[in-house]
Amino acid sequence: MKYPEPISRRNSLKTIGLGWMALQCPTLLQAQTKQPAPSRAREVTDWLDRYWDDKREIYMDKADKKNPTAIWAGGILFSTLVAAARHDKQRFQPMMNHYFKGLEAYWDPKVKIPGYEPLPTAGNGNDKYYDDNAWMVLTFLEAYEQTGEAKYLRRAKETHDFVLSGWDDQLGGGIWWHERHNDDAKNTCVNAPAALSCFRLSKFSDPKTAEKLIAQGKKIVEWTVKTLQSEDGLFMDHIKVSTGKISRARLTYNTALMLRCFLWLHSYTNDPAHLAEAKRVAKAADSFLDGNGVYRDLQKWSHLMVEADIEMYRHTKDDYYLNRAKKTCTAHYDSWKSAPKPEVIDNASCARELWLLEDLDSPAAVRFWQNSDNPRKS
């Protein structure tokens, strides 16, 4: 996973040989040296190599490699590698395996219900965020569906157990943001991906367990809609448990994951009400756009709205959602090309959304998503 060696450091004999070829047969040289330009997604993903720590097999927060990245970014990075492996299995699937091994540094097996700590841990930690872990469930399920490797499904189930342990009956239900109840909050950013995890995990469970998972997912959706959906269809950030005060801040990723829950429910039940709600929410998401039609939130949030738009396009074939996703992807890529962000999470978010866009042009990736979007085993 090392960045390609600069041309100036390559074997000088190779350079001499190419010079001789140029004199003898310029056309032959061009044919042998011309390489297709990497795709936008590949270009940004290659950039991420500079954050990689070979020894620890994890990504670092910045290119100076002083500090490991947080597990939230780890979920985005892993999902980027999963998406990249759909296009280049030979290169990126081994990288997935290395990173999955490296992520064990964050896994805390010494507590009653294991889960991922925000940073590498010696175990017996109590600083876990339920939303961080919910993202890991979704990316591991995607990895399992893509590779068939049982380790990903096993870890998805283990992590999901931790996420659901954050549910209690205060305020009528909902999953806490943090295991020690930091910030006194239950947030959309954990309940939405937790519900989607229930739905997607049901596909790989025995019938009795699948029924329970789907029921739990519906319960989480109902609580989130009742508690945190605003009148316009978008989803607010969180509710303070001790006071019942709601933060009306709206971020793209909150709405994005709930939108995907409605799409899954429509696929599973064929109830048009779920599709109608998905469309209502998706239309309301126009308010997240700036004057250029680009999602205004930071990439670490808005790339998940792009993912929801692409899923909406797969589900409805409505070009409106695809064009909305394309505008944001292009803006994010152009910004990256001009000046990459210093933190790995922003660059990984850009790479992930670009791969999802490229999936639409790959027959193999199209087949993958046709199967993945099907809520039942094929």
Q: What is the mean pLDDT of the chain?
A: 92
Q: Does the structure show a pLDDT above 80 at 30? A: no
Say what the pLDDT of residue 11 is. 38
Q: How far apart are CA 156 and CA 133, in angstroms?
A: 9
| Residue reference for tokens 């960045």 | 3
Q: Does the structure show a pLDDT above 70 at 350? A: yes
Stretch among 31-35, 249-253, 284-288 having the lowest mean pLDDT: 31-35
Q: How far apart are CA 13 and CA 19, in angstroms?
A: 10
Q: How far apart are CA 181 and CA 179, in angstroms?
A: 5
Which contacts of 199-202 are long-range, i.e. CB under 8 A and separated by 24 or more positions? 199/261, 199/264, 199/265, 199/268, 199/375, 200/138, 200/141, 200/264, 201/137, 201/141, 201/156, 201/157, 201/160, 202/375
Q: In the predicted model, what is the mean pLDDT of residues 16-39? A: 52
Q: Does the structure show a pLDDT above 70 at 223? A: yes
Say what the pLDDT of residue 34 is. 61
- Residues above pLDDT 70, as percent of the chain: 91
| Residue reference for tokens 């803006």 | 331
Q: How far apart are CA 102 and CA 77, in angstroms?
A: 12
Which contacts of 241-248 are long-range, i.e. CB under 8 A and separated by 24 or more positions? 241/170, 241/171, 241/176, 241/181, 241/184, 241/185, 241/186, 242/184, 243/184, 244/171, 247/185
Q: pLDDT tens, 109-121?
A: 999 999 999 999 9
Say what the pLDDT of residue 38 is. 87
Say what the pLDDT of residue 35 is. 66
List the one residue out of 87, 85, 89, 166 whose CA is nearest residue 131. Answer: 166
Q: Could you count the other beta carbons within 10 Å of the beta carbon of residue 318?
A: 13
The third-level CATH classification (topology) of the domain covering 41-288+300-373 is: Glycosyltransferase (1.50.10)
Cα angle value 357/360/365 (rounded, 5°):
105
Q: In the predicted model, what is the mean pLDDT of residues 158-181? A: 98
Q: How far apart are CA 108 and CA 172, in angstroms?
A: 29
Are 205 and 216 within 8 A, CB to CB? no
Say what the pLDDT of residue 274 is. 98
Q: In the predicted model, what is the mean pLDDT of residues 25-43? A: 67
Q: pLDDT tens, 365-375?
A: 999 999 999 99
Q: Does the structure show a pLDDT above 70 at 4? A: no
Q: Does the structure show a pLDDT above 80 at 244? A: yes
Residues 6 or more apart whose Cβ sits within 8 Å of residue 2 = 49, 52, 54
Backbone angles phi, psi at 198, to 5 degrees: -55, -50
Q: pLDDT tens, 294-311?
A: 999 999 999 999 999 999
Q: How far apart are CA 315 and CA 68, in angstroms?
A: 37
Q: How far apart are CA 34 and CA 30, in angstroms?
A: 6
Query: Going along the chain, which residue ranges are E strands?
Result: 52-53, 58-59, 107-108, 115-116, 185-187, 236-240, 246-250
Q: So where are the chain's domains? A: 1-35, 41-288+300-373
pLDDT band at 351 (very low <50, low <70, confident <90, very high): very high
Q: In the predicted model, what is the mean pLDDT of residues 314-337? A: 98
| Residue reference for tokens 């589900």 | 315
Give the H/E segment covering residue 200. helix 188-202
Q: Does the structure show a pLDDT above 90 at 254? A: yes
What burial letters (b/e) apply to 188-223, b meaning 16+ CB within 10 Å?
Answer: bbbbbbbbbbbbbbbbbbeeeebeebbebbbebbeb
Query: What is the full DSSP assignment across 229-292?
Result: B-TTS-BEEEEETTT-PEEEEE-HHHHHHHHHHHHHHHHHH--HHHHHHHHHHHHHGGGGB-TT
Q: pLDDT tens, 58-93?
A: 999 999 999 999 999 999 999 999 999 999 999 999
